């Protein structure tokens, strides 16, 4: 598989942004998914939710205009758009848990073909555990999309038949955007939705060890 068959993280963010329709309420998870915001078309109104208590989140402020009271879930400075609203944590997570968000984009350690997601803990014995809003996000949006490299640094596929890492949520993922291809999770299997570059389904089967047909 040549490197040219893989899209960059920025290209992937852009690809995801293209799939978000105007009017959608969207939560972009900490890390790579945050990049998606950079590619949302300026002429479309897409409303970003940050679970620490803001709908209508805008881009990062200039350096001198950082407001420590106005941050996102990643504790980075943000701004608020006209039409924004603030609320407390119980209201914010109720918004999520209650199924009001259209799309949430998250990172992953592993995604199971049954839609299970593992993204909060590697299960390492000496790790300091921390979960934050990961589990709430995983079950909280109507569509949970994953943005991830297809392969872990070790070369193993992050798409698996069954997750071996501790789960974040059960059966919650509907789509996975990777650097090789986009997959839908349908009926307990991964289906290739879109291939990037010269990737083929067969080549992805080799890489992942999954039956993708």
- The site for another protein (CB under 8 A) is made up of 22-23, 25, 45, 47, 49-56, 61, 63-72, 75-77, 80, 82-90, 92-101, 116, 121, 126-136, 139-140, 166-170
Q: Is 205 marked active-site?
A: no
Shortest approach of another protein to residue 103 CB, angstroms?
Answer: 12
Q: How far is the CB of 105 from another protein (least distance, A)?
A: 17
User: Active-site residue among 11, 45, 51, 156?
Assistant: 51
In terms of residues, how long is the chain? 213
Cα(72)–Cα(57) distance, rounded to whole angstroms? 8
- Compare residues 59 and 209 and give the one whose CB is closer to another protein: 59
Residue number, 168 or 178, with CB nearest to another protein: 168
CA separation for the pair 2, 136 (Å, rounded): 37
Distance (Å) of CA 169 to CA 50, 79, 133, 159, 200: 19, 30, 12, 15, 30
What torsion, rounded to 10 degrees, do the Cα atoms 163, 165, 167, 172 define? -40
Q: Which is nearer to another protein, 110 or 208 (CB)?
A: 110
Which active-site residues does the annotation give?
A: 51
């Amino acid at each position: 598989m040549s490197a040219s068959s893989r899209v960059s993280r920025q290209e992937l963010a852009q690809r995801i942004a293209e799939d978000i329709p105007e009017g959608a309420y969207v939560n972009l998870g900490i890390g790579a998914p945050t990049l998606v915001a950079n590619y949302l078309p300026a002429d479309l109104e897409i409303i970003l939710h940050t679970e620490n208590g803001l709908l209508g989140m805008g881009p990062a402020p200039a350096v001198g205009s950082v407001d420590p009271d106005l941050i996102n879930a990643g504790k980075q400075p943000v701004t608020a758009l006209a039409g924004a609203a603030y609320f407390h944590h119980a209201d914010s997570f109720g918004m999520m848990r209650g199924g009001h968000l259209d799309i949430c984009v998250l990172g992953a350690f592993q995604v199971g073909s049954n839609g299970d997601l593992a993204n909060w803990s590697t299960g390492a014995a000496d790790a300091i555990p921390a979960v934050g809003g990961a589990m709430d996000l995983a079950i909280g949006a109507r569509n949970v999309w994953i943005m991830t490299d297809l392969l872990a640094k070790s070369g193993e596929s992050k798409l698996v038949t069954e997750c071996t890492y501790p789960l974040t949520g059960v059966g919650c993922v509907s789509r996975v955007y990777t650097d090789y291809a986009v997959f839908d999770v349908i009926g307990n299997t991964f289906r290739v939705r879109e291939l990037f570059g010269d990737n083929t389904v067969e080549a992805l089967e080799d890489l992942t060890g999954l039956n993708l047909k």
